[in-house]
């Protein structure tokens, strides 16, 4: 972690050590018995709150140094409205999935929390219940799915309660419009966005390992053509979505070729059915809570489309930075390549991600707060900190890639009614290569201990050496 806050550490530590007499005192026992520690009159155990906070201010840099070792890092922490600690808040670092807070803030700012995506079915020359061809026109809804797929996320605590736009509902509406025969099948139209199917600088493994599907303004079932027992990426998302609609229509008695295709709907086609998504606020909540990469990428392209008429990742990332700046967030050092944080070329700062989190107090951005994963209970933290003092109290957005770790959130219900802590951590480098989860857990535990009321008279002393070379972490977001 460099540069280190040496002045704060040495200055506060020295003053507190001298003024408070924080040193071990022992008294020899009669007859040569073992020495018994005696608590000094001015021990940290007896400190009033203001002096205890001084101890905490001196101890915090030591704990951070112990946890982060030689990583390049930034860290900002507030207690209530007061800035308690700041380390390199403007240093540009790879943010990993904490970047989704920036995407969320921009999407809510540009599109609005009540915005809904619309998927339409259009056709030409319908006569006597027969349509020559149906066109399924994508409206960039990332939640379009069939009931069978919806059941799968609901079985996983990570994605339980994931919002849905029902493809069955759209099929029902087509039948209700009187369509009984489709002569030439269903065509999927994803022309709303112009971007490539992936971000060019992504690693190939992001697709092969199912971190994200191919990007499209029209897709179904999260972009997966199979999800049980394992995921298979839909090779042609709009054609796959069209085939799913055709299958549902066939189940409802419509004569239609079950094989979908992709193309562009004619300009004069008539809208015969449509379905709208849940509000954007619900979509943003799911994106943050589950760290959904696909949702993040689609939202970035929608922000680009809304601001410049270009549904591309490049237009969207530029628009995200502009939207953040308009909200008063310092974007110096922020340079985005995608919306999800998968790309290693992304750069953000602790000040920027914390600024995005701070918007949550505004009703328009409440989804940011509601979307934070809860330790031991929901989202990316549902298996972590369970049955610990942090269970239900730590709410955060996690982030991790190789050599990258991030944690941004709040710690609530603190001892003795102290104000909530709000914090942002980003750390890069080989020092975090094998310990992303361990670092997140160490930081969270340190925050819970702050301001370190101690049973140790040498509370300001250096901590024991601790290696970050832990066993490799399982995949994390």
What letter would DSSP give residue 413?
Answer: S
Give the model's pLDDT for residue 36.
Answer: 38
pLDDT at residue 472 tops 70: no
Angle between helices 6-20 and 49-68 (to 10 degrees): 140
- Which two structure tokens, joined as six digits, stand for 106? 């921009």
> For the chain, what is the radius of gyration of the CA atoms?
27
pLDDT exceeds cutoff 80 at 12? no
Between the alpha carbon of residue 213 and those of residues 275, 295, 344, 399, the distances in Å are 23, 10, 18, 19
Q: Are strands 144-145 and 404-411 parallel, antiparallel or unpaired?
A: unpaired
Q: How far apart are CA 236 and CA 193, in angstroms?
A: 15
pLDDT in tens, 339-398: 999 999 999 999 999 999 999 999 999 999 999 999 999 999 999 999 999 999 999 999
434-457 burial code (b ≥16 CB/10 A, e <16) = bbbbbbbbbbbbbbbbbbbbbeeb
In this prediction, residues 447-469 reach a mean pLDDT of: 56
110: helix, coil or strand? helix
Query: What is the reported pLDDT for 66?
Result: 87
The beta-strand segments (E) located in 144-227 are: 144-145, 165-166, 181-182, 186-189, 224-226
- Reported as a pLDDT band with limits 50, 70 and 90, residue 477 is low
The tokens for 263 are: 């193309």
- Residue 82: HSE in the Cβ half-sphere, 13 Å Cα cutoff: 6
Domains and CATH numbers, the chain: 6-108+286-449 (3.40.710.10), 116-278 (3.50.80.20)
H-only helix segments in 139-232: 147-154, 167-176, 205-208
Unique residue bearing structure tokens 């922000």: 303
Q: What pLDDT is attached to residue 156?
A: 84
User: Could you tell me where the DSSP H helices lie in 253-394?
Assistant: 280-290, 293-308, 313-326, 350-358, 366-371
**Considering the chain, what percentage of its residues have pLDDT values greater than 70?**
83
Percent of the chain having pLDDT more than 90? Answer: 74
pLDDT digits (tens, 9 = 90+) for 43-76: 343 345 555 567 667 888 888 888 988 789 999 9
Q: What is the dihedral of CA 456, 462, 463, 466, to 10 degrees?
A: -170
Peptide bond into 186 cis (omega under 30): no
User: Using CB atoms within 10 A of its CB, is residue 204 exposed (0-12), middle (13-18) or buried (19+)?
Assistant: exposed
CA-to-CA distance for 343 and 335, rounded, in angstroms? 11
pLDDT digits (tens, 9 = 90+) for 267-325: 999 999 999 999 999 999 999 999 999 999 999 999 999 999 999 999 999 999 999 99
């Amino acid at each position: 972690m460099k540069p280190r806050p040496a002045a704060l550490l040495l200055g506060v530590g020295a003053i507190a050590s001298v003024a408070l007499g924080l040193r071990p005192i022992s008294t020899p026992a009669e007859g040569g018995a073992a020495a018994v520690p005696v608590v000094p009159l001015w021990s940290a155990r007896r400190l009033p709150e203001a002096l205890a906070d001084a101890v905490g201010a001196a101890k915090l840099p030591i704990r951070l140094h112990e946890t982060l070792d030689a990583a390049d890092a930034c860290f900002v922490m507030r207690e209530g409205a007061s800035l308690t600690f700041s380390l390199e808040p403007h240093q540009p670092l790879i943010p990993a999935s904490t970047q989704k807070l920036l995407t969320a803030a921009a999407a809510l700012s540009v599109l609005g929390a009540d915005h809904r995506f619309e998927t339409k079915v259009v056709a030409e020359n319908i006569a006597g219940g027969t349509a020559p061809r149906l066109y399924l026109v994508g409206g960039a809804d990332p939640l379009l799915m069939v009931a069978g797929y919806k059941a799968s996320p609901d079985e996983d605590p990570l994605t339980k309660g994931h919002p849905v736009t029902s493809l069955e509902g759209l099929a029902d509406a087509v039948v209700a419009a009187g369509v009984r025969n489709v002569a030439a099948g269903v065509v999927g139209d994803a022309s709303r966005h112009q971007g490539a199917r992936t971000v060019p600088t992504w690693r190939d493994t992001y697709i092969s390992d199912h971190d994200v599907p191919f990007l499209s303004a029209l897709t179904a079932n999260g972009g997966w053509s199979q999800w049980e027992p394992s995921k298979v990426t839909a090779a042609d998302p709009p054609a796959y979505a069209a085939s799913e609609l055709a299958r549902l229509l066939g189940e409802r008695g419509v004569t239609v070729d079950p094989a979908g295709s992709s193309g562009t709907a004619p300009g004069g086609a008539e809208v015969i059915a449509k379905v709208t998504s849940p509000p954007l606020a619900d979509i943003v909540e799911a994106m943050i809570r589950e760290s959904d990469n696909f949702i993040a990428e689609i939202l970035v392209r929608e922000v680009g489309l809304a601001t410049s008429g270009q549904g591309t990742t490049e237009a969207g990332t530029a628009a995200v930075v502009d939207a953040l700046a308009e909200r008063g967030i310092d974007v110096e050092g922020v340079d985005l390549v995608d919306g999800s944080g998968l790309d290693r070329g992304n750069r953000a700062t602790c000040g920027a991600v914390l600024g995005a989190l701070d918007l949550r107090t505004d009703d328009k951005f409440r989804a940011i707060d509601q979307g934070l994963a809860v330790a031991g209970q929901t989202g990316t933290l549902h298996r972590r900190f369970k049955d610990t003092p942090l269970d239900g109290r730590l709410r955060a957005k996690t982030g991790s890639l190789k050599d990258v770790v991030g944690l941004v959130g709040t710690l609530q219900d603190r001892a003795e009614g102290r104000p909530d802590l709000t914090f942002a951590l980003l750390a890069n480098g080989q020092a975090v290569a094998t310990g992303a989860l361990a670092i997140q857990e160490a930081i969270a535990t340190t925050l819970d201990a702050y301001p370190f009321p101690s049973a140790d008279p040498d509370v300001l002393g250096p901590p024991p050496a601790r290696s970050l070379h832990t066993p490799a972490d399982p995949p994390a977001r």
